[in-house]
Amino acid sequence: MAKLNPRLAVYPGTFDPLTMGHVSLIRRGLKVFDTIILAVAESTPKKTLLSIGERVALAKEVFRGDEDRIIVDPFDSLLIDYVEKKGAGSILRGLRAVSDFEYEFQMALMNRKLEQDIETVFLMTDFKWMYLSSTIVKEVAQFGGEIRGLVPGPVVKALGSKYGFNFTRSGKSR
């Protein structure tokens, strides 16, 4: 195995869509790591609203000014193989609540079994985003509910387009 960079982390997920909780976690992760690869999963048991191309493009647009520290990259393989291929020493994961812990703990242990030299680092979600999930955002957007402030601007526009709403400062319109 090639030498792993302990200052490089991979933050994997579907990011369908990218939320302000994800953005917050990445920004906070940059206090710990020099570079974070936002690894957008192509294969997922979840039914995605946005295509892999749309999710990657939106993330690149959101983090455009941080191109040297935040790398957006799609992946379609076993996560631990992807992390090793990229030379990252860590997997970054966020925890919102105790309910997230059991699943994340199992995944971290399996990844550790597969590759002992790659660490999983957990950051607690900022308290103001603890309730937020991509699923909740999609449900609210589907019915024209207010999503500004929950997702970055480009995502607001993309979800409005998907669901046939034009979210404006004064509210929504069809």
Mean pLDDT on 50-74: 94
Q: What confidence tens digit (pLDDT) does each residue in 89-138 have?
A: 999 999 988 778 888 999 999 999 999 999 999 999 999 999 999 999 99
Q: What confidence tens digit (pLDDT) does each residue in 155-165 have?
A: 999 999 999 98
The pTM (predicted TM-score) of the whole model is: 0.92
pLDDT of residue 171: 52
CATH of 5-162, one of 3.20.20.80, 1.10.10.60, 3.40.50.1820, 3.40.50.620: 3.40.50.620
31: pLDDT confidence band, cut at 50, 70 and 90?
Answer: very high
- Contact between 117 and 1 under an 8 Å Cβ cutoff? The reply is yes
pLDDT of residue 90: 98
Residues catalogued as catalytic: 22, 46, 96, 134
